[in-house]
Copies of this chain bind each other. A is one copy, B any other.
Amino acid sequence: MKNLKGKCVFAQSGGPTTVINASIAGGLIEALDNENVTGVLCAHHGIKGVLDEDFFDISFEDKAELEALKYTPASAFGSVRYKLKNPDENDSDYRRILEIFKKYDVRYFFYNGGNDSMDTCDKISKYMQKSGYDVNVIGIPKTIDNDLCGTDHCPGYGSAAKYIANSVMEINRDASIYPSPLVIVVEIMGRNAGWLTAASKLASINGFGADLIYLPETVFSYEKFLSDVKAVVDAKKYCVVAVSEGIRFANGKYVGEDQSSTDVFGHSQLGGVGNALKAQVKTLGIKCKAVELNILQRCAAHCASATDIEESFNAGRYAVIKATEGETDKMIGFKRKGGAKYEIEYVAEPLSSAANAEKKIPAEWITESGTDLTDDFVSYALPLISGEPERRLKNGLPEYAKLKYVKIKA
């Protein structure tokens, strides 16, 4: 626990979300106001901006515009998909980061991202400790996938879940109108954890949900799927299927694998599971549409959760508070308090507990049919989507943050 004085650097990484800018806003506003912070920089394009010495000076920005970042989707300072090497094999990137930190007197480093980013953050933290350079490093989580360990839930999940729940309700109504049978398959993100797809369960609460929910946590088979679909269509004529892009057969192969490619982290990039299921439904002689929620589920700020925005903002704030109090090598997490009313506290968890582990839906929250979620899931997820944000509107459309983006001369 070291109390340091110096500059701070924020960086955003991974896929953007509706609220990653809310976290950065919380961090920036807190840092600008903190007496231990002598300068506030944002790296352009995540860790790449650090390596390239490419920084924005936040002292030039208006506070009202930083506040407006709460309602501005995607990564305002750019993102990157760049994997730092294992420092034991090649430490050139780490040496460069240390050089930059020294040059700018960086004593606080905040990395805002998902699993891979927490891993990057952890590696940097460990390297700096080993080098004897004092810098407090804190990870600010974000991922719509909600699969980080060390936190009750992840900033970004509530807003994505809200968009998914609203969209599935609307798709349910749309599916219901014709006299002939119809199946609509809604393809939802989530490679290995089904949190996003499970959010379709929330659409059932007021009456218009998905009839069948297929998660990566359960083994998928076409045979059971077709039998499930047929039973629903026989009973009520139309059927809404919510399916994760990450469902797999018993042999471990992704159902959407035909269209797969691989990203720089070695993860399969999936797509097309909706169309694969559509082709199957057609073998039953039933009309089927496939709807892919696509990137809209991660950037639909017009349907954000006020709770998610507020918590994400506070995650950024607490990162700065904890770091300037002397914490390092931590990730900010949410801990749900007991009691009937939903409340959380902000905690600092070891980065290593979050990095590279994926939290899945507990088996006991999935019903025996394998196609539905229990009330425990609903109790968990429902508070996360609540509240309508007070967006800044102009001409009937959102007015996003207008930043000056003043670069520091290297």
Question: Number of residues in A with C-beta < 8 Å to the partner?
Answer: 58
CB-CB nearest in chain B for A294: B291
A114–chain B nearest beta-carbon distance, Å = 14
Contact B387 A296 (CB under 8 A): no
Q: Is the beta-carbon distance between B206 and A395 smaller than 8 angstroms?
A: yes
CB–CB A173/B73 < 8 A: yes
What are 12 pairs between A and B in contact, CB < 8 Å?
A: A45-B177, A72-B173, A74-B173, A78-B178, A80-B178, A80-B179, A166-B397, A169-B398, A202-B395, A386-B395, A386-B396, A387-B396
- Total copies of the chain: 2
B298 adjacent to A174 (CB under 8 Å): yes
- Give the nearest-CB partner of A388 in chain B: B393
In the complex, besides A170-B299, A292-B292, 5 extra interface pairs with C-beta distance below 8 angstroms are A16-B177, A74-B176, A78-B177, A291-B294, A388-B393
A295 at the B interface (CB under 8 A): yes
A393 closest partner in B (C-beta)? B388
Residues of B within 8 A of A184 (CB): 295
CA distance A171 to B167 in the complex (A): 17
* Closest chain B residue to A385, Cβ basis: B396
Contacts of A73 in B (CB 8 A): 170, 173-174
Inter-chain contact B396/A178, CB cutoff 8 Å: no
Q: Would you give the shortest CB distance from A64 to chain B, in whole angstroms?
A: 15
Q: What B residues does A191 contact at CB under 8 A?
A: none
The 8 residue pairs across chains A and B that have the minimum distance between CB atoms: A74-B173, A386-B396, A170-B299, A79-B177, A166-B302, A174-B299, A75-B177, A45-B179
**What is the bound-complex CA distance between A75 and B45, given in angstroms?**
46
The CA of A301 and the CA of B165, in the complex, are separated in Å by 12
A91 contacts partner chain B, Cβ-Cβ < 8 Å: no
Q: With A296-B167, A301-B170 in contact, is A74–B177 under 8 Å at CB?
A: yes
How far is B387's CA from A327's CA once the two chains are assembled, in angstroms? Answer: 46
**Which B residue's beta carbon lies closest to that of A158?**
B396
Tell me if A303 is interfacial: C-beta within 8 Å of chain B: yes
Q: Once the chains bind, are A178 and B296 in contact (CB under 8 Å)?
A: no
Given A45-B178, A75-B177, A178-B45, A300–B170 Cβ distance below 8 Å?
Answer: yes
Bound CA span A289–B305, Å: 26
In the complex, A203 has a CB within 8 A of chain B: yes
- Interface 1/0s, chain A 374-403, versus B by CB < 8 A? 000000001001111000011111111010
Chain B CB within 8 A of A207 CB: yes
| Given A170-B302, A173-B72, A382-B395; A79-B205 close (CB under 8 Å) | no
A395, B387: Cα distance in complex, Å: 9
The answer for the CA separation of A166 and B72 in the assembled complex, in Å, is 12
Q: What residues of B have a CB within 8 angstroms of the CB of A386 in the complex?
A: 395-396
Output the least CB separation between A393 and chain B (Å). 8
CA distance A179 to B51 in the complex (A): 14
